[in-house]
Structure formats: C-alpha cells, structure tokens
C-alpha cells in the first residue's frame, strides 16, 4: 500500500488557471517496457509522445505531479536560439555547429507550435519577445547581433528599437533600447505541459504520478528503475529530471546547478491598464545577469519574474520578495494587489548551454536548459526519441557541446556559484 500523501501542484497563477488537470495513478508492482522515462516535465513528456508515436512501449514515472517542477512554473517564454547568442556560440562550438544548433532551436519553436496546433492545446500562445538593454553600452552589441542574425543566419524577424520606443512600448524609462523578436513568443507553460501529457496518453504512453525513482540498476538487457513501491524493467531509460535529479545519477549531477527563480501575478488590471505596461502584449526580458522577465496573462494580470536564490529554501514572503523587483520597473504599481507568488527550481550549466548525453546501459539524458526550456526541452525529448530509434546525428550535436563539471562537484558547487552570482549582481549595478 502507498502510504505517502499524494502531492499537489503549488499555489500559483498557473495552477489556479490550469486546464485539463488529471490524476494519474502511482506505479505499483513490477512492470516491463521498452522505455522508462523518469520525470514528467517538458523533456519527459516530449520524449513520451515521440517514442509512443514510433510504436515504443513507454512508461513515464513522475515523483510528484505531471509538470510539478519548473515546466509548470516558469516565465513561459518560447525563446529563439540557444541560451548563448550566436556570436558567443560560434566561439564555443565553431560556426558549423553553431549554425546547426540555431536550426535545431528554430525547429524547437516550430515543434512547440505544431504540438499546440495538432493537439488543440489551450495555452494562450502569443507572439513576440522584447529583450531590453539595462545599460546604454549594450545598444551597440544589439546592432551587431541583429545584423549577424539577418545576414549570417537568414533570420528576418528581429529589429533594434530605440530607448524612446521601448519607453512607449513598456511604460517605463529604465531601459536604453531593445531587440524585438517577432519570431519568438510566450504561453501558459503548465497548460502547455498538461496538453503534452494528454497527447502522450492518447499516443499510448502510460503516465504515473507520485512514483519516485530511487535508483537505476544496470542489468544484462537494460536497466531496472527501482521506485518506492515498484520496479520498472526497461530496455532504455530517459532521464528528464533536470533540476530535480538529486542523487539519482551521480555521473551527471555535477554538470548542472539547481537555482531558484521567483514570480508573481498581480490582480487583474483591466485591458487598458495592462496595455499601458506592455502595449503590444509581448514577453519582456532584460539584460541583467539575474534577469527580470515579465508578460501579461490572458486575463490582463502582470506576471513578473525577478530575483534568485541558491539554497534549498524559498523566501518566507515571496510576494514581498518579487514585488520589490517589479516596483523598480513599474513604480506605478505600488498600490496594486499581488494575488499569487511562487518559486521554481531550474538547472543551469557552466556555459549556460544544455547538456545531452548517453550513459552506459542505454540511459539517455537532456538537462541544463538554463532558462530556455520551453522550446529546448521540447526539442530535447524529440532528439532523444530519434537517438533511441537509431538516428543519433542530431542528438550528438548537442552531446558534443563542451561541458564542465561545477568545481567541487555536487558537494561544493554552491559556495562557488553564490560567489559568482554576487560578482555578476555587482556588475549589474555598476
């Protein structure tokens, strides 16, 4: 008998407006399958859909609820490219692989949009992401970056906008310019994930909640995934745990660092007031190292993300914690009620590029999306499915990205990260 009380989604604006919440039973007893997927976020759900559509017998086990983690709590931006822009990416992997990674990122956005359309996922998908300059000197880099995208990457959907235009678009004077990307977008991430879960279920994958994986044991013809109340024997295993990997797989846990981000949702502002903040209903992100990111909800709230911490605890008063960041941008909201505030844990890598790979025993993983997981994790699941099916060329482009383990491994990585973050936070203020 399962004695642990079933978990629920955290109290957030996304959970309060969720569409299609469904209870999936815990896995109990011993079962076998072709592929066992651990983790019910974007990576795991995308893997499940693509593998089930290829005819594989798929079982997905989630320790909490489907999309309980970062996939159901994030800023909802459907971003263009990788977490590093193409100028930096060319220095890391070379121009050829940079171009290929760019094309995969474009396909990632198209994959998300395609799933939303084909499965009728109601997740408030809207176009446009505006990146705004926190410092005046960043405008010159914006000009160069847009020129490279248009000429070298044949991407016509971006343009540089002036500080005055940013002020007219956003109703704040704290920025010096921006890049408007009409090829990017934003959505309700939890509803997108719940739609993926429904699609995976309909494709034949079996989903199990409140089914925590305790260890993975290599056996002669695959792996045994040992759960709290059962066991899954699988030919292949997919690790889609990201920031919640914990000690499940020590060989890759040191490649990522879990960090906590925080968001709030104001009271409904009404369309006129909401559009006075973000006139064109685009998502916004700034250029600080610890970024502010925000957008409007379908019911005209401001959804604002700001601040991080690097411990196992969230702030005791998250509304107050995030509100101070919001008021630096929009002091006119000083008397506005905050209805929801919540935190989530994401995983970053040393170079802020995702880490993909395959471990002994046919264990595949994709993780470390560093804040760009809506598109890239959806693509990660697709590439894992390709690799398991025997076509690994595209997966291998990601696996070739140089990745370092955090200094000190999982034990000592926290102090180093905190010192680094404090340094970059100080640079933001100078």
Q: Any alpha helices (H) in 125-267, and if so which ranges?
A: 138-152, 163-170, 189-203, 250-253
CB 386 within 8 A of CB 392: yes
Residues 309 and 412 in one domain: no
Task: Print burial letters for 172-206: b (CB count within 10 Å at least 16), e (below 16).
Answer: bebbbbbbbbbbbbbbbbbbbbbbbbbbbbebebb
User: In which band, very low, low, confident or very high, does the pLDDT at 178 lie, cut at 50, 70 and 90?
Assistant: very high
* Count of Cβ atoms closer than 10 Å to residue 362 Cβ: 18
Residues 306 and 337 in one domain: yes
pLDDT score at 420: 55
> Average pLDDT of 67-91?
96
393 domain-assigned:
yes
Residues 151 and 19 in one domain: no
Residues 309 and 166 in one domain: yes
User: In which band, very low, low, confident or very high, does the pLDDT at 291 lie, cut at 50, 70 and 90?
Assistant: very high
The Cα 119–Cα 247 span in angstroms is: 35
At 395-422, the pLDDT tens digits run 999 999 988 887 765 554 455 555 555 5
pLDDT score at 1: 38
pLDDT score at 421: 55
Last residue of a domain, one of 311, 331, 348: 348
CB 310 within 8 A of CB 414: yes
For residue 49, give the CATH number of its domain: 3.50.50.60
Last residue of a domain, one of 348, 367, 387: 348
> Average pLDDT of 369-374?
94
Residues 168 and 29 in one domain: no
At 17-31, the pLDDT tens digits run 999 999 999 999 999
84 domain-assigned:
no
For residue 131, give the CATH number of its domain: 3.30.9.10
CA of 115: how far to CAs of 208, 241, 383, in Å? 22, 22, 15
Residues 235 and 134 in one domain: no
Is the pLDDT reported for residue 429 higher than 90?
no
117 domain-assigned:
no
User: In which band, very low, low, confident or very high, does the pLDDT at 13 lie, cut at 50, 70 and 90?
Assistant: very high
Count the domains in the chain: 2
pLDDT score at 415: 57
Residues 364 and 396 in one domain: yes
CA of 316: how far to CAs of 15, 183, 262, 321, in Å? 20, 38, 12, 9
Pull the structure tokens for residue 9. Answer: 């989604």
119 domain-assigned:
no
Residues 157 and 224 in one domain: no
At 92-123, the pLDDT tens digits run 999 999 999 999 999 999 999 999 999 999 99
Least confident of 220-234, 289-303, 406-420: 406-420
Pull the structure tokens for residue 188. Answer: 């309700």
* Count of Cβ atoms closer than 10 Å to residue 59 Cβ: 22
Identify the domain containing residue 131 by its residue range. Answer: 126-186+258-348
Residues 265 and 380 in one domain: no
Residues 182 and 36 in one domain: no
């Amino acid at each position: 008998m399962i004695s642990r009380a079933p978990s629920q989604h955290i109290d957030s604006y996304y959970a309060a407006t969720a569409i299609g919440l469904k209870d999936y039973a815990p896995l109990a007893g011993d079962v076998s399958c072709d592929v066992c997927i651990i983790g019910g976020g974007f990576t795991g759900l995308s893997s499940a859909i693509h593998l089930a559509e290829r005819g594989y017998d798929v079982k997905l086990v989630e320790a909490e609820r489907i999309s309980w983690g970062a996939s159901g709590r994030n800023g909802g931006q459907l971003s263009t490219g990788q977490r590093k822009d193409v100028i930096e990416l060319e220095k890391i992997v070379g121009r050829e692989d940079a171009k290929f990674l760019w094309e995969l990122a474009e396909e990632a956005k198209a994959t998300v949009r395609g799933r939303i359309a084909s499965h009728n996922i109601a997740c408030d998908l809207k176009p446009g992401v505006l990146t705004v300059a926190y410092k005046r000197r960043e405008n010159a880099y914006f000009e160069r970056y847009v020129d490279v995208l248009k000429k070298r990457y044949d991407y016509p959907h971006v343009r540089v906008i002036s500080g005055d235009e940013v002020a007219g678009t956003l109703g704040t004077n704290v920025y010096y310019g921006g890049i408007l990307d009409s090829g990017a977008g934003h959505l309700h991430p939890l509803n997108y994930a719940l739609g993926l879960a429904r699609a995976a279920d309909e494709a034949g994958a079996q989903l199990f909640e409140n089914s925590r994986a305790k260890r993975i044991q290599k056996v002669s013809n695959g792996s045994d995934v040992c759960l709290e109340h059962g066991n899954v024997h699988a030919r292949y295993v997919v690790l889609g745990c990201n920031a919640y990997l914990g000690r499940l797989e020590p060989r890759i846990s040191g490649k990522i660092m879990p960090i906590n981000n925080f968001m709030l949702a104001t009271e409904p502002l009404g369309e006129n007031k909401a559009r006075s903040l973000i006139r064109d209903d685009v998502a916004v992100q700034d250029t600080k190292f610890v970024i502010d990111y925000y957008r409007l909800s379908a019911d005209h709230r401001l959804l604002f993300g700001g601040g991080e911490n690097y411990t196992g605890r969230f702030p005791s008063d998250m509304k107050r914690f995030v509100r101070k960041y919001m008021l630096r941008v929009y002091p006119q909201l000083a008397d506005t009620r905050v209805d929801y505030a919540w935190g989530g844990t994401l995983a970053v890598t040393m170079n802020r590029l995702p880490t993909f790979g395959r471990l002994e025993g046919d264990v595949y993983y994709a993780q470390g999306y560093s804040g760009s997981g809506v598109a890239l994790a959806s693509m990660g699941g697709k590439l894992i499915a390709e690799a398991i099916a025997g076509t690994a060329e595209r997966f291998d482009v990601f696996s070739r990205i140089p990745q370092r383990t955090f200094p000190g491994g999982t034990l000592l990585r926290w102090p180093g990260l905190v010192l680094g973050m404090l340094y970059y936070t100080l640079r933001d203020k100078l």
